[in-house]
A and B are shown apart, each in its own frame.
Chain A
Amino acid sequence: MILRAEGLRKLYGEFCALDGVSLAISAGEFVSIIGPNGAGKSTLVNVLTGVLRPTAGAVTFRDRDVSGIGPARLARLGIARSFQLVQVFPDLTVLETLQAAVVSRLGHGARLFASLAADRAVREGALEIAELFGLGRKRHVPARHLPQGDKKLLDVASAFALRPQIILLDEPTSGVSTADKTAIMETLVSASKRIGVQAIIQVEHDMDIVFGYSDRIIALHEGRVLADGPPAAIEADRRVVDTVIGRRARAR
């Protein structure tokens, strides 16, 4: 068991966005979190990655309680993530963005007087990821000049540059055409293999992608886990089909 959450609750003021969510992720798993808008998927990812502090409940990573230690330390421990609303460094180039991630991973951030340009380990680590994600030719483009799809890709790529053990992706293919979605998913899967990522958790609305790639699916609804199981079981679960997947998918 790499990552485990127990009894997570998250209140936004009076509003309860997560209401007792428990889950466990094992090595080698590709898990998709699905659910209608407002189900609490992003809130769950934010709590699991330390961006938000849960109101109650605990998160353990490799048998270590990591609740409330914050995203920076979690990232250094091996949990990386990307965002639903794309997050980039507008004035940094693709290469610089990936270099920053590698600097962080290698612990070179304390090198005040060393030359970044001469740091071969950092440069090569960054270039490798840029190539993996097909961003090699755009490495000198500042993030703010990238098209939306590439921004999203860069956000994801920089998480991979941390060489994490587990990665959480909040809608990695949102806002991308169907054709590009498959390409992104293939990139993600091959990059994970190359890097040795042990588990992927993604939030995804596109059911073709969800059922095409997942080992396991967790359906959230109104802050609770509605169902948690392999794709076949989820597809056969009437409640999930009614509330999450919808009729269109059932007809498929």
Chain B
Amino acid sequence: MSGRLVLALALGATVLAPLVAPTYHVLLMLPFMAYAVALLGLNLLFGYTGLVSFGHALFLGVGAYTGAFLTSVFKVRSMEVILVAAAALGALVAAPVGALCVRYVKIYFGMLTLAFGMVFYTFVLKFYRLTGGDEGMPFLRPTLLGRSIEGLPKTDYLAGPYYYYSLAVLVLATLVMWRIVHSPFGLCLKTIRDNPTKAETLGIGVARYRWCAFVISAVYAAVGGALLGPPTGNVDPTLAYWTQSGNIVFMTLLGGFASFFGPVLGAFVFIYLQDWVMSVVPFWRLIFGAILAAIVIAAPGGLAGLWVRRPSVEASSS
């Protein structure tokens, strides 16, 4: 099956899901789509630039808290304003954090991002009066494209308008990211991932490109974070905790960082598998962890790698 066909089928199924699938599973698509947006960004850094961030929950948190503040403190309900503000704040926070982190590579980069993530987590937890501490803040129902949808029961709102709104954001984010990775800029990122020394001698300023990739990935994570708010209606510090950072890195590995859509697939499998395991077994974390470990061992290139590798093997044997 060609990639385009699979993509078209997946998109078609996603569009039709609210009409045919049980509401419960439709609602699980919401965090999937939000994480998918964040992962597209994370993978620009990971798969395309070769930097693994263990602190991206920081930007999920920035996005989600932006929405919570705007809706519950500033009475701004427009989801478009929230998304733009989340993106802007994500970039604003990422600019100095990134400038510091991209001076380091490999595990040092990872640890530094982790440290910044911890700082942010502690900040939202301890500045109780500003952030509500561990209880978090309400993320009030936003208006979509200027239309207030107050009348609708919450589930209908989420499984209907909000679902399609999230899908539209995901599609748009995907198109933009597709452009970025296939641009001259994207090519420069790949040279840095493959061989920074060589890239530098070709006149490609490694630190600057890494910084740009970092900021873009933070913008994506912040937009994803903002999308995560409405389904729960509440934003709390667990969203910014380091285990979240670990989860999104894991989703990326699970799906396959070497492929554009791999991380999106990873988010999908992670979320539905987690939900299913939680519902059928006690000690679900144990089982879930074991299943994930087994997948990663069996498919080191991620799930997308299983599928992508086949054509290249055929090509080389012909």
B residues near A155, Cβ cutoff 8 Å: 198
Q: Does A105 contact B (CB under 8 A)?
A: yes
Question: In the complex, which residues of chain A have a beta carbon less than 8 angstroms from the beta carbon of B197?
Answer: 51, 87
Collect the chain A residues with CB atoms within 8 Å of residue B206's CB.
Answer: 72
Given contacts A113-B176, A115-B179, A117-B182, contact A76 B203 (CB under 8 A): yes
- State whether A158 touches B202 (Cβ < 8 A): yes
Q: Are B182 and A71 in contact (CB under 8 A)?
A: no
Alpha-carbon gap, A158 to B202, bound state (A): 8
- Closest partner residue, chain B, to A104 (CB atom): B203
Q: Which of B180, B182, B194, B212 is the most central at the interface, judged by chain A CB atoms within 10 Å of its CB?
A: B194
Kindly identify which residue among B180, B182, B187 contacts A100, using a CB–CB cutoff of 8 Å: B187
Residues of B contacting A89 in the complex (Cβ-Cβ under 8 angstroms): 190-191, 194-195, 198-199
Of B193, B204, B206, B212, which is in contact with the most chain A CB atoms at under 10 Å from its CB? Answer: B204
* Interface residue ranges of B158-217 to A (CB < 8 Å): 176, 179-180, 182-188, 190-191, 193-195, 197-206, 209, 212
Chain A residues contacting B186 (CB-CB under 8 Å) are 116
Majority DSSP secondary structure for residues of B touching A: helix
Cβ contacts under 8 Å, B195 to chain A: 87-90
Given the known interface contacts A51-B201, A103-B188, the answer about A90 and B194 at a Cβ–Cβ threshold of 8 Å is yes
A70 proximal to B (CB < 8 A): yes
Residues of A93-148 at the interface with B, using a CB-CB cut-off of 8 Å, are 96-97, 99-101, 103-105, 108-117, 119, 122
Interfacial chain A residues near B201, Cβ < 8 Å: 49, 51, 71-72, 75, 80-81, 83, 87, 159
Cα(A49)–Cα(B200), bound, Å = 11
- Can you identify 5 A-B contacts, CB atoms within 8 angstroms? A80-B201, A100-B187, A109-B209, A115-B182, A162-B202
Question: Interface on B for A, CB 8 Å cutoff?
Answer: 176, 179-180, 182-188, 190-191, 193-195, 197-206, 209, 212
Report which A residues bind B (CB closer than 8 A): 49, 51, 70-73, 75-76, 80-81, 83, 87-92, 96-97, 99-101, 103-105, 108-117, 119, 122, 155, 158-159, 162
